[in-house]
Amino acid sequence: MAPPADARLRLETARLTALFGPRAVLTDVSIPFPARTVTAVIGPSGCGKSTLLRCLNRMHELSLGGWVTGRVLLDGADIYDAGVDPVRLRRRIGMVFQRPTPFPTMSIHDNVAAGLRVNGPRTPVEVEQAVERALRQAALWDEVQDRLRDSALALSGGQQQRLCIARALAPEPEVLLLDEPTASLDPAGTQRIEELCHELKRRYTIVIVTHNLQQAARVSDYTAFLFNGELVEVGRTEDLFTKPVQERTEAYITGRFG
């Protein structure tokens, strides 16, 4: 299903196939990710959701034996072109993982600033501003502004996850990848992250992997359903959940398998 004409395509996969050695875990997947929208990727465990996400910032190729065919277009340019430096690319695409991964040796402030330092020189004032902006965007500023020098490990799990979101946002990426960001959080923490998605999509293009169908329905504009490494269906979230085209999609969202 084509996105509306006013939503420019920020990111797009074209016949993307991801492999570990000879074994394909994702086959011929073509999904558009329109700018300033949230796209949810759903599907049963092992269907390739996380692998898809990891192909979008070239993290997949860091896994042992990981490689891809097909294309991933960021603003029309293939990120797998020979001239693209994956390290520089990852500075344009932020990622947040399933479990919070604050750097244990760093303070709250330094965690948020961690991605800034590799992005070229900045004055201390610029760093301070970027840290505050990122923490505000991640809805964490009010809770931590008085203890920026404390260890990041002093925060609760939900706060740590928002800290990781702030860390990903600080270098001002264009795309934000969320890999089951609420999997290890309690309901309150989950709700905060979901609210955050609504806030953040005004500025960022978000791709969120989730195994929670209600969450996909709540936060996303578009939903892609993957099964066994193949794209079954992608479309507007409300359409996909109310009148799915594919039999398998209906079976999955009504809980008949997966």
Reference 35, options 68, 2, 6, 59; nearest CA is: 6
- Determine if 184 is a binding residue for another protein (CB under 8 A): no
- Determine if 119 is a binding residue for another protein (CB under 8 A): yes
| Candidate residues 101, 156, 184, 228; the one interacting with another protein per rule CB under 8 A | 101
Measure CA 258 to chain center: 22
| Candidate residues 15, 67, 105, 145; the one interacting with another protein per rule CB under 8 A | 105
- Determine if 41 is a binding residue for another protein (CB under 8 A): no
Reference 226, options 74, 13, 64; nearest CA is: 13
- Determine if 150 is a binding residue for another protein (CB under 8 A): no
- Determine if 157 is a binding residue for another protein (CB under 8 A): no
Tokens of 95: 């990622």
- Determine if 131 is a binding residue for another protein (CB under 8 A): no
**How far is CA 3 from each of CA 76, 131, 223, 241, 247, rounded to the nearest angstrom?**
16, 34, 12, 17, 22
Taking the complex as a whole, the smallest distance from the CB of residue 151 to another protein amounts, in Å, to: 6
**How far is CA 112 from each of CA 47, 48, 144, 155, rounded to the nearest angstrom?**
32, 30, 12, 14
Taking the complex as a whole, the smallest distance from the CB of residue 236 to another protein amounts, in Å, to: 29
Which residues of this protein are in contact with another protein, per CB under 8 A? Answer: 57, 59, 62, 87-91, 94-95, 97, 99, 101, 103-105, 114-115, 118-119, 151, 153, 164, 167-168, 171
